[in-house]
Each structure stands twice: as C-alpha cells, then as structure tokens.
Amino acid sequence: MQLKLLWELQKMDLTIASMRRTIEEAPGNSGIDQNSENLTLLKDKLSALQITFKEDRKKQRDLEMKIQKIVDDRKELYDGMYSGKTSAKELEQMQKKMEMLSEEKKKLEDQLITLMESVEELEDSISTINNEVKEADLELHKKQKKLEAELAQYNEELAALESIREKKAVDIEPQFLQRYEVLAAKHGGQALALVENNICGGCRVFISSGLYGRLYKQDALVYCENCGRLLFKLEDPQ
C-alpha cells in the first residue's frame, strides 16, 4: 500500500516538476526576448537616423545662409556697378567678383540640392522606422500581456497540484517518505521504477528472479541492483 502511494506521489511530483519547468521556460519560449532585442535595434537605428537628420538640417541651413549672403553681395555689387560712380577699372574688378560669386553660388546650390535629397530620404527612413518601432512595441506589449496571463494560469495550476501533493504525502509513513525523497533527489525525481517484464523501468536492466519474487511482498523495499531505484510492481490483474 505504501509503495503504491509513493508511486502516485512520484507521478504527482513529476507533474509538478514539469509545470515548474514550463513556468521557468515560459519567458524564453514566448519570444519576448527576441522582440525586445529587435525593438532595441530599431530604436537605436531610429536614434542614429534622427541625429544624422539633425546634422544635415543644420548643414542645409548653413548652405542656405551662405547662398543668401552671396545673393546679397551680388545685389550690392550690381548696385555699385550701375551707380554711375564707378571707374572702368573698378567696374572690371566688380565684374570679375560677380563671376566668382556666381560660380560659388552654383557650387553651393549643387551641394544644397544633394543635401536636400539626402534630408528627404532621411525623413522617409525615419517615418518608416518610426512605424516599425510602434509595431514592434505593440507586438512586444501583446506578448507580455499574453505571458502574464499564461504565468497566472500556470501558477494557479501549480498551487492546486502542490495542495493535492501535500494531502497525498500525509497518508505515507515517514520512513517511506524519507527514503523516497532521498532517492528522488538522487535520480532526478524518479525514485521508483516500475517493473515490467522483469525489467527495471529506470535503467532498462533485467532484475534477478530473487528480487522479482520479493516484489510480491507488500511494501517490501526492493532496490534495483543496477541503478539503485526502489522497484515497484503493479498488482497482477485478478
């Protein structure tokens, strides 16, 4: 009777151990870590794009200011050239400077066009990545909520199993329970091995006929000579 109770207790303990592993592994199996890593990478990418965008916008403003300065200088030169107070030599120098300013203005405008195209592409990229960040954040939040619900259910089931286990253990005599716990700790929770066809269910080794005969004695503590587990045999059908 005691061995049968131990066998039932072992099945309960293995179920509890399995549930605890499920709870422990749930966060990793949920995909949350991968989602969180992906979200972090997206945020880092977004941050880098925003920094580049800010720098390019500053460069754009600087170029626009330089171009405007050239426009103002050209206007001032133009007014001076046709003021009627300029000598032929001064006029020639002003014309050369006007040409230089025109060339410089064209170079700056070409740079500005290239930069504006870059800024526009950055704006598109930032918008795209920002949407990806929002989607990834939403997906992560959904998985976190799902995990919370699953863990709550698992812990509730575990508490119920542990309560049943506690009640089962009360019916087992202390010396049997102590021996079971020692063997369970040694054999990964499988203190008892079921004997079928004269084979130990723990190590799959044949047991001697002498040992097998002792299994018919109720609550006899018979150990496998190979693995050391406590042998248990189901009652023969009537």
User: How high is the pLDDT of residue 236?
Assistant: 62
Whether residue 10 sits in one domain with residue 77: no
Both tokens assigned to 139: 């997906």
pLDDT > 60? residue 238: no
Candidates 140, 224, 218; CA nearest to 173 is: 218
What's the residue count for the chain? 238
User: What is the sign, positive or negative, of the torsion defined by CA atoms of 226, 230, 234, 236?
Assistant: positive
Among candidate residues 124, 146, 170, the one where a domain is terminated: 170
Residues 117 and 233 in one domain: no
Q: What is the CATH number of the domain that holds 16?
A: 1.10.287.1490
Structural domain count, the chain: 2
- pLDDT at position 79, please? 84
User: pLDDT tens digits for 92-110?
Assistant: 888 899 899 999 999 999 9
The strands making up 199-200's β-sheet, listed across from edge to edge, are 199-200, 192-196, 230-232
231 and 132 in a common domain: no
Query: What CATH code is carried by the domain that includes residue 146?
Result: 1.10.287
Q: pTM to 2 decimals?
A: 0.70
**Angle subtended at Cα 225 by Cα 220 and Cα 229, rounded to the nearest 5 degrees:** 60
Residue 61 CB-density burial (10 A; 0-12 exposed, 13-18 middle, 19+ buried): exposed
Q: How confident is the model at residue 200 (pLDDT cuts 50, 70, 90)?
A: very high
pLDDT of 237 > 60? The answer is no
Q: Is the pLDDT confidence value at 196 over 80?
A: yes
98 plus 213 within the same structural domain: no
Would you say 163 and 21 are in contact if contact means Cβ atoms under 8 Å apart?
Answer: no
Residue 183 pLDDT = 96
Domain span including residue 91: 31-170
The yes-or-no verdict on residue 214 having pLDDT over 80 is: yes
Residues 21 and 148: their CA atoms lie apart, in Å, by 16
Q: Which pLDDT score is estimated for 94?
A: 85
CA separation for the pair 109, 60 (Å, rounded): 10
Helix (H), strand (E), coil (C) string for 65-94: HHHHHHHHHHHHHHHHHCCCCCCHHHHHHH
